[in-house]
Amino acid sequence: MLSPWFALNDPMWKDFDRLRGELERLFDMGVPVGNIRGVARGTFPAVNVGETGDDVIIYVFAPGMDPGKIELTIEKNLLTVTADRDTEQELGSSPKPQRYHRRERFSGNFRRVINLPEGVDPNKVDAKYINGILVVTVGKRAEEKARKIEVAVG
Amino acid sequence: MTEPRQGEIAARKEDTHPEARRQGREPLVPLVDIYENDEGIILLADMPGVSKDGLDIHVDKNTLTIRGAIAGIVPKDVKPLYAEFDGRGYQRVFTLGPDVDVNNIRAVMSGGVLKLVLPKTEAVKPRRIEVKAA
């Protein structure tokens, strides 16, 4: 009587199944659904998007940049951020070190395309670079703004 | 510069709570570049969101601890729609060798990047030995 190799309810394989599940959760591959413009975890730079009643605010975590060299474009509701990062340049003007022990930081060209929610006005964009975070504020179209409704006492 | 004991212990502590880390309760580990030349060691750490005031660097015996607080970026009334980054702060620990001159460590914080210069003590800098003809 031969049992099949991959009987996952066999106690011998239980741990492998658990490990596979943990790895899937870790790499987000368990759910085969994703935005077509989505990126793998750990992509540089990380992006957060938030909103207030009046604006949509995008935070791009890109330290060590020269803000003048970041290319920011907006078309309808697509925001594109692209730039070149050269981490060796951040060493400064002192003589170049002879060797390195670690190089974990991202260096090179990056490009992020961010889907903004419907209702943003591409003519109302403001961008600031604060402590290594690019903060882009996009105003919502007038009719999209949250409206406070007065409750009258009748 | 190696980070044998303390660095390994710090890494092990971080990994015991992966869920907490994912939810932003534990500090993030900042990515670093570490270079070395005869003069000393240069460490560059990516810590976006940290200003000079939010930085805490200290050396205790031969342990270098780098901490950075992220503050003042997001106003209270912002509702999150999409988040890849959920950190509140950064922390990383390194062990230093005896050749580092800990009294002369210099730190510069700019654009979310920390640059630490750790000079070597004079005694250990390589010295050219002149060979004279006999």
The closest alpha carbon to B27, from B107, B86, B110, B109, belongs to B86
> pTM above the 0.90 mark?
no
Q: What are phi and psi of B16, to 5 degrees?
A: -75, -15
Q: Which domains does chain B have, with CATH numbers?
A: 5-123 (2.60.40.790)
Whether chain A has a CB inside 8 Å of the CB on B53: the answer is no
The beta-strand segments (E) located in chain A are 46-51, 55-61, 71-75, 78-85, 99-103, 108-115, 120-130, 133-140
Residues of A with Cβ-Cβ distance to B79 under 8 angstroms: 50-52
**Rounded Cα gap, residues A74 and A81, in angstroms:** 9
**Rounded Cα gap, residues B113 and B101, in angstroms:** 22
Whether chain A has a CB inside 8 Å of the CB on B89: the answer is no
pLDDT in tens, A69-92: 999 999 988 999 999 999 988 887
As for the ipTM of the complex, it is 0.74
pLDDT in tens, A20-71: 666 656 655 555 666 666 666 678 999 999 999 899 999 999 999 999 999 9
pLDDT in tens, B32-71: 999 998 889 999 999 999 999 999 999 998 899 999 999 8
Cα angle at B43 between B21 and B109, to 5 degrees? 80
Q: Which domains does chain A have, with CATH numbers?
A: 40-89+106-143 (2.60.40.790)
pLDDT in tens, B84-126: 887 788 999 999 988 899 899 999 999 999 999 999 987 777 7
**Rounded Cα gap, residues A57 and B80, in angstroms:** 9
Omega prior to A45 cis, within 30 of 0: yes
How close B110 gets to chain A, by Cα (Å)? Answer: 7
CB contact under 8 A, A131 and B37: no
How close A73 gets to chain B, by Cα (Å)? Answer: 20
Burial class (CB in 10 A: 0-12, 13-18, 19+), B41: buried
